[in-house]
Chain A
Amino acid sequence: MANVTLTNVAKRFGAFEVVHGANIDIRDGEFVVFVGPSGCGKSTLLRMIAGLEDISGGEIAIGGKVVNDVEPADRGIAMVFQSYALYPHMSVEQNLSFGLRMTGNPKADTDRRVKRAAEILRISELMERRPKKLSGGQRQRVAIGRAIVREPQVFLFDEPLSNLDAELRVQMRVEISRLHKELGTTMIYVTHDQTEAMTLADRIVVLRAGHVEQIGRPLDLYDNPDNIFVAGFVGSPRMNFIKAHIAGRDAKGVLVELAGEEKTRIVQPLAGPAPETGSTVIVGVRPEHFGGAGEGDADLTVAIDVVEHLGGTSFLYARTAHGEDVVIQRDAARVPQTSEVTVSIRKSYLFDEKGLRLR
């Protein structure tokens, strides 16, 4: 059991910096997900925690002990790889026990640990098989089993579900959640899939281009994104961004006018300093935050291009008069038959030109 602390951790390849001074504090027993688009540095960060990559700057501490110069094996971590990394020439049993055998762990203890891991993951009947004879889901279990056998203080997962088909992915997601409850061990999990992040994490770390954009609980990120990137990344379909400008202000906040929509004005309460009247801002509206005409702050008439029916809900792909694309979520029963529809904005977020949240 251990907490993991990253202090100003940086990674450079030559002159090229891929991680810029990350500060992340992971509590003991917490399930933390690093999420971001490919190339954001999330896997590099994980591999630095594992000790598979050198740390170019800053400090990583596990259980209060700085591990920058500690070999991977001595960091009390275990890792599950995207490709499973099962040794193809060994049986499942040998795969599970290989590390312990190679490092001189007593045989009785090794057997006990392997047996326990096999029971937790329900793979006891597969022990004699080679990886080639296993299904994708079974391979994934063996890979996780190999981590459990280590009895680590911290589990590291590197996109473990991305090689599985959609159905298995959901199943394994639940399985990993159950495992976390059962073991109560700190887990760090890397993925590019925001759904995985939202469903698994106690807290999410959103990364982009080597920077930590925001750290928070899944619903905090959804409800209260710090910037336009996090706002766009969390939630599916993604938030709509509509250009606007400040039309005026009063004691409560500012009056925002959507570009090309003189009638559509939104009042945004602001705690912090308000931008000057006339300056450009961006209004973010989640698809699920559009309501029927008159139900919210302001009304907006859009032209419908395409309607996607998912059953219970539908998505309207539409364009504003100013030519901006928006996605609107509606109950299936409330999908209009017309080519135009007037919607209201029930809830919106305001960002400045640089993408920072104004609140």
Chain B
Amino acid sequence: MSSLASARLKRSIALHLFLTPLALIWLFPLWMMVVFSTMPDNGIFSPGIELLPHGNFIDNFNNLQRDTDFVGAIVISVCVAVTYTFLSVMLTSMAGWALARYQFVGKGVVVAIILGTITLPYAVVLIPQFIMVARDFKLANTWVALIVPPLFNSLGVLFMRQSFSMMPDDLFDAARVEGVKEWRIYVFIALPLARPMLAALCIILFLASWNNYLWPLLINSQPGSMTAPVALGTLIGLTKVSWGGIMAGAVMLTVPMLIVFVLLQRHFIAGIAAGAVK
């Protein structure tokens, strides 16, 4: 073996020796979530060290369902996330298209506003938003309240603007010369070409809605209108509650997303990494 190859081998071994324990530590909480969700409560609160799954998931789930209507909350979460994703993709891609492809009066101002809101804490709008939706519009504990206010999304618009502006001008000019209306150019040329980017955006938006906690906690606090994270959150800290049940709920919130993540990793990463390559 040449000295170059052996040096490479040593470096490679060192790399793996360092990275493997770190990776295991990182996976540990997720692993324990699964383990806890399969253990009876008296097993969770016992002195022994348990690192392998048991068979108690169904019982735990039944306990969870007894503590709160988790299935109902999941249904709400899914419907809200799907509707939100659909509407938000429409809104952000339309806005991104306009910003990428048209010259218009006030464009600079719109772009500046969108960039500005990225670094503006959500906390600033939280209270008036709540007062407006709950008191003025009387929409507390409705799906509309969960879906509409979070529709303003600056990173999504910037992502779509970036995607559309990377497409060659000639493509759209060719259609324009042929007399194709602007909205048809958008629907039949721009959107189909942006499919990978739209997929990435969909995933990121769905995840954001699925995991959203603070706003749903405030606006939809009535039992029967809560999203799944909120329903689960109400149990944390209660004294007479099944922790195995909470863990079963956590698994139900997390594992589907992990599966999607594994299947669509490329889109996921593209969506998150969009911030890096401006």
Contact = CB atoms under 8 A, between A and B. Distances in A.
Interface of A: 47, 50-52, 71-74, 77-79, 81-85, 87-89, 98-100, 102-103, 146, 150
A52 B180 contact: no
A98 B188 CA distance: 10
A47 B176 CA distance: 12
A87 B189 CA distance: 7
B149 to A, nearest CB: 35
B50 interface: no
Contacts of B179: 71-74, 99, 102-103
B173 A103 contact: no
B170 interface: yes
Given A72-B179, A83-B170, A99-B175, 17 more contacts: A51-B176, A51-B177, A73-B178, A73-B179, A77-B177, A78-B177, A83-B171, A85-B170, A85-B171, A85-B173, A88-B193, A89-B193, A100-B178, A102-B184, A102-B188, A103-B179, A150-B178
Contacts of B193: 88-89
Contacts of A146: 174, 178
Contacts of A103: 178-180
Nearest to A88: B193
17 contacts: A47-B173, A50-B177, A51-B177, A73-B179, A77-B177, A78-B178, A79-B174, A83-B171, A85-B174, A87-B175, A89-B192, A89-B193, A98-B178, A99-B178, A99-B179, A102-B181, A146-B174
Interface centre among B174, B181, B184, B188 (most CB of A within 10 A): B174
Contacts of A85: 168, 170-171, 173-174
A319 to B, nearest CB: 45
Interface centre among B178, B188, B193 (most CB of A within 10 A): B178
Contacts of A47: 173
Nearest to B180: A102
B81 to A, nearest CB: 28
Closest 8 CB pairs of A and B: A73-B179, A99-B178, A85-B170, A85-B174, A81-B170, A102-B180, A89-B192, A83-B170
Contacts, number: 66
A79 B168 contact: no
A73 B184 contact: no
B107 to A, nearest CB: 14
Contacts of A84: 170
A74 B188 CA distance: 21
Contacts of A78: 177-178
Given A83-B168, A87-B189, A88-B193, A73 B174 contact: no
Interface string B195-227: 000000000000000000000000000000000
Nearest to A52: B173
A89 B187 CA distance: 13
A145 to B, nearest CB: 12
A110 to B, nearest CB: 12
A32 to B, nearest CB: 18
Contacts of B174: 79, 81, 85, 146
Nearest to A79: B177
Contacts of B171: 83, 85, 87
Nearest to A53: B173
B168 A73 contact: no
A79 B173 CA distance: 9
A89 B195 CA distance: 11
A81 B178 contact: no
Contacts of A150: 178
Nearest to B189: A87
B188 A72 contact: no
B52 to A, nearest CB: 49
B176 A72 contact: yes
Nearest to B185: A102
Interface centre among B173, B176, B177, B193 (most CB of A within 10 A): B177
Nearest to B172: A85
B178 A52 contact: no
A85 B192 CA distance: 15
Contact of A98 (B170, B176, B180, B181): B180
Contacts of A88: 193
Contacts of B178: 73, 78, 98-100, 102-103, 146, 150
